[in-house]
Every structure is written in C-alpha cells, then in structure tokens.
Amino acid sequence: MKVRTIAAILLILAFGFARMNFEQKLTDEHRAAYFHGAKLNLDLRQKVGQLGFLAALSGFRSIVADLLWIKAHMEWEKTEWGRMALLFNTVTTLQPRNMMFWEMSAWHMAWNASLAASQDPKQPSLKLRLKAQREYFDLGRDFLIRGIQNNPDRYKLYEQLAYLYKEKYGDHCAAAEQYEKASQFPDSPAYMKRFAAYELAACPGHEREAYEKLRAIFDLGEKERAPTLLKRLKELEVKLEIPADKRIKVPEGFK
C-alpha cells in the first residue's frame, strides 16, 4: 500500500475521530429543537414492512407517513375504524412533529368513530354501544396526549384536548386545565384565557377562581367583553352573591 493511500485512510479515520463529539452535540441540538424524534424500532418495522422501514430510515419518513395516511383515508371511506386507528398509530410514530396527523387522528376517533359506534346497527345492546363509544373517546384522547408529549412546545393540541374533555367527556375541570396550559404559550390566541375561565366557571368548587379570572378579563376593556363572558359573569355574580355595587354593568338589552 502506498504512502498516499495510507494517508487517505488516516485522513478519513482522523476526521471521523475529530467530528465524533461535534456530531453528537449537533445531534443533541437537533433533538432539543425536536428534530429526528421518530422512534424507528422493530415495532415500527413490523407495521410498515421492510421496504417502508428502509425508506423511513433513509430519510423518506414523511413520504412513508403520507402513503399510510392516504391508506387510512381510504379505510375511512370504508368506515374501518379499527384499521384506521392502527394506521394512525404508525403515521404518528413516523411523523411525531406533524400536528395535523395528531389532530385528525384524534378527531376521527373521538368524533367520527365514536358516533359510528354509538349508532352501530349490528350491536343491539345500548350499554355495549356506549362502552364502544367511550373507548373511541379514550382513543382520541390518547392520540392528543401522545401528541402533546411529542409537541410540548405547541399550544394547539392542548386546545384540542380541552375541547375533547368539554365536548365528549363533559369534564369542565379537565378542559379548564388544558385551556389554561394552552393559554400559557406566547403564540396562543387571546381567546384561550377566556375559554379556560369559561370552563373553570362550570367546574364545581372553582366558581370564585373563575369569577376572578373572568372579572380580570372584563376589566381589560370593551374589546374583551364578549357576550359569553358577560353571561358567565352575571351567572357567577348571582351564584357567589357578589354585592350589587361590585357587579358589572352590562349593555342595555343584554340577557
């Protein structure tokens, strides 16, 4: 072997040695910025097949996820809810930073699949239909919880989870908590704080806290005084027996 060939090999090895720590730090920085978060393990390998797994490993994760998403869409047209849930699991594992996948998966399960289960003509027992419906609510909730775990830096899924608790579980306390979390994000819309307070107003035992929050929003000015806010405040004033001189003044004609 000639000297220059040895030099080439040594150069590659020395560069490999020099870049090792730098690359590890850069990988850590990437991960801290939520890059490369997909867990490409044997479980996924079984779900997407060898070719899909190879593609996902080789930098084509998003395309594999899209293909599976389209497949799930086709299953939706056939109302194959179980298969859809499995496909959604795989899609969200491949693309955990894609908010749309989490949102839509949760929506399909908690809204569409749960409704279908509650009206299932093949199931005569109401109790079992309601049980199935509840299980789909839980599936939807699980998607959102896992979505939040993968996207703790974004408010959107907290908002969706709050909405799910409110609409499907009727759990206003949990909804208030999630809206409150969503409102803490600097880029979250201003109405998030209002929604958190509305839900808190419906949460037993938290009326005083809700009143103070709603009052604080009311005091921000005309722009914040939405009809629902005024309505909730009026209700709470009665419930909490707020003295007349401390009650808010509402526009004429407001009911």
Partner 1 sequence: MTHSFRTVHKNFSLARINTIAGNTLLELIRLKVFYFLLLFALLIIGSSAFMVNFTFQEQFQVLKDVSLGAMSIFTWLLAVLSTAMLLPKDIEDRTLYTILAKPVPRFEYLLGKLLGVLLLLLVATLLMSAMFAGALYLRQQMVIAATLHGVSPDQVQEAIRAIRAETFTASLVPGVVAIYLKAALCAAVTLFISTFATSWIFTILISVMVYFIGHIQSTAREYWLASGDGSQLAKIFMFFVTLIFPDLQLFNLVDDIVAGNAIHLLMFWKTVGLGVSYLGVYLLAAYFVFANKEL
**Which residue ranges make up the site for partner 1 (CB under 8 A)?**
2, 4-5, 7-8, 11-13, 15-17, 19-20, 22-24, 26-27, 29-30, 33-38, 54, 57-63, 65-66, 69-70, 73, 95, 97-100, 104
Taking the complex as a whole, the smallest distance from the CB of residue 254 to partner 1 amounts, in Å, to: 22
CA–CA separation, 130 and 118 (whole Å): 6
Q: What φ, ψ does residue 249 adopt, rounded to 5°?
A: -105, 125
> How far is the first Cα of the chain from the last one, in angstroms, to the nearest whole number?
93
Residue nearer to partner 1 on the CB measure, 30 or 239: 30
Taking the complex as a whole, the smallest distance from the CB of residue 59 to partner 1 amounts, in Å, to: 4
Residue type (1 letter), 227: P
Taking the complex as a whole, the smallest distance from the CB of residue 233 to partner 1 amounts, in Å, to: 26
Residue nearer to partner 1 on the CB measure, 33 or 240: 33
Residue nearer to partner 1 on the CB measure, 8 or 115: 8
> Three-state DSSP class for 106?
helix
- Cα–Cα separations (whole angstroms), residue 48 to 22, 53, 64, 118: 33, 6, 8, 31
Residue nearer to partner 1 on the CB measure, 170 or 227: 227
Taking the complex as a whole, the smallest distance from the CB of residue 106 to partner 1 amounts, in Å, to: 14
- Reading phi first (left if > 0) and then psi (alpha if -120 to 50, else beta), residue 49 is in left
Neighbours of 147 (CB within 10 A): 26
Taking the complex as a whole, the smallest distance from the CB of residue 6 to partner 1 amounts, in Å, to: 9
Give the DSSP letter of residue 155. Answer: S
Name residue, tokens 């996902």: 56
Residue nearer to partner 1 on the CB measure, 153 or 219: 153
Name residue, tokens 């839980």: 138
